[in-house]
Chains A and B, each alone.
Chain A
């Protein structure tokens, strides 16, 4: 196939001795446009499920040995395919097979070969793999694009969690094109006024009044319509746009406080979602201080919500940062509590004011005894640690009644209100709490 020798491309993975992703793409790019040597015809992208867990549990040395053995076993499944390590736990294979049947058979051979466990220094490791396959079509113009298609198919399989082998399809292609378009459009969307805020009211059950609201960002795209935050927030994080987007939300929130004061909602709180990655930006504290000073963020009424699963494992620097924010008068909430990895030990050190209990502990609390007991335990713990509880996702009257019976809990969810716009929020003035909770 006229492949060039290794040293010309330099880049080799030191652990497995395989080509790196850069070398892999460089070799393929040379051959991609060559009509006499049509290679590759397809790429298989594979990732080993949960391998990072082994690293955490057993350390790098075992990890390296396992990767070496994996590479060696994979090689036994191949003829003369180009084989590379394309990521920490990701491999890529370029082949001149292009019939779906043969490609599938190759992938199945790999899956079968990995069924037998790996014996590393007496410990047996059971490995499963997900393989995405992309075949060259007329619209594929580069090796990089072909690899991206294979990886995209693989990620889709990982998301679905049902099959281990799958092909990149025209639907995937459309999806990928949309993602790329959205990625390109995010930077200008603030300017074009496509982002707007909604507010999810929070109800203080004991007093029967609205205590505050969670600020939600929405994107009305001119071509694709409403894009869900679950879709565009990861894209914003990927493209570095999450920082300006968060600053936009903070500024709009500051402006909202002025309007709330004007209509007489002077105790109303607003909670803003801030990804841990943004908090850890070097200039974040400075930015908050700037918005506070120049736009006005009233002390005691802004709450930064940090999703539990994004809290870094190494908390020292993070805790210091949160303490500084608290000194500035900002409140801290742990969002989606109960779904991430916050251990009780962390919770004791974490300077949070609010625990937002995930909806999965709230839904059906009136029928599920275990949930009820779990919620009660969380409530007792939060009280002992002087944290307030916000229960998310309350949708039924019976759920609301049970939660209310615990006392001192703030609730949000469709039973009380769906997310509403600014005007509808101002209309809650008569039902807004009149003092601090």
Chain B
């Protein structure tokens, strides 16, 4: 079975849990094993990137308490060009300048259908 390692960065537990369950549920259909790590802040995310092998994909909330999702994206990119990066935000239109750092922008609140479709695009399945 194929396997993917994902990092979810969000300071809201409800979102981390929801995304984790959506991804796990979705990946069953693709026969892909997923390992999901969580980070609740920029600092935690940086640490996770440092301490682990490069992730296959990351979903980064743009409204974190201690800094910008862009810093996380830059660090992830520096570690590996292969990591696929998605930004998660309520206001995608307000992040024009940040677009180049991410492969995809996902909209909050999370809608099941749209999230699933975009996650498949993110993993390029």
Contacts and interface: CB of A to CB of B under 8 A. Distances in A.
A248 B13 CA distance: 13
Interface stretch (B1-9, B21-29, B76-84): B21-29
Question: What size tier do the contact residues of chain A reach?
Answer: 20 to 34
Interface string B23-63: 01100000000000000000000000000000000000001
B112 A191 contact: no
A234 B76 CA distance: 42
A233 to B, nearest CB: 16
Interface in B7-21: 12, 14-15, 18, 21
A273 B84 CA distance: 39
Interface string B82-125: 00000000100000000000000000111111000000000000
A243 B25 contact: no
Interface string A237-262: 00001011101100100000000000
Given A191-B12, A251-B18, A294-B24, A283 B112 contact: yes
B15 A191 contact: yes
A188 B113 contact: no
19 contacts: A187-B90, A187-B108, A188-B90, A188-B108, A190-B14, A190-B109, A191-B14, A191-B15, A244-B111, A245-B109, A248-B109, A251-B18, A283-B112, A286-B112, A286-B113, A290-B21, A290-B112, A294-B25, A295-B21
If over half of B's interface residues share one DSSP class (helix, strand or loop), that class is named, otherwise mixed; here it is: helix
A283 B12 CA distance: 25
A220 to B, nearest CB: 16
Nearest to B107: A187
A287 interface: yes
Given A191-B15, A283-B113, A294-B24, 13 more contacts: A187-B90, A191-B63, A191-B90, A191-B109, A241-B109, A243-B111, A244-B110, A245-B109, A286-B112, A287-B112, A290-B21, A290-B22, A290-B25
A193 B12 CA distance: 9
Contacts of B111: 243-244
Contacts of A282: 113
A123 interface: no
> Which of B15, B25, B112 counts the most chain A CB atoms within 10 A?
B112
B49 to A, nearest CB: 23
8 smallest CB-CB distances across A and B, nearest first, come from: A244-B109, A294-B21, A283-B113, A187-B90, A188-B90, A191-B12, A287-B112, A190-B109
A293 B22 CA distance: 11
A245 B12 CA distance: 16
A293 B25 contact: yes
Contacts of A286: 112-113
Interface of B: 12, 14-15, 18, 21-22, 24-25, 63, 90, 108-113
B90 A247 contact: no
Interface string A263-296: 0000000000000000000110011001001110
Contacts of A244: 109-111
Interface in A86-124: none
A241 B63 CA distance: 20
B16 to A, nearest CB: 12
Nearest to A192: B12
A286 B113 CA distance: 9
A281 to B, nearest CB: 9
A248 B14 contact: yes
Given A248-B14, A251-B18, A283-B113, A191 B108 contact: yes
Nearest to B18: A251
Contacts of A191: 12, 14-15, 63, 90, 108-109
Nearest to A294: B21
A291 B111 CA distance: 13
Interface in A357-407: none
B43 to A, nearest CB: 20
> Which of A241, A245, A248 counts the most chain B CB atoms within 10 A?
A248
A133 B90 CA distance: 36
Contacts of B108: 187-188, 191
A247 to B, nearest CB: 7
Nearest to A187: B90
A200 B24 CA distance: 34
B117 to A, nearest CB: 11
Nearest to A193: B12
Interface in A294-326: 294-295
A295 B22 CA distance: 11
Contacts of B113: 282-283, 286
Contacts of A287: 112
A308 B99 CA distance: 46
A190 B63 CA distance: 14
A244 B109 CA distance: 6
A290 B90 CA distance: 23
A282 B113 CA distance: 10
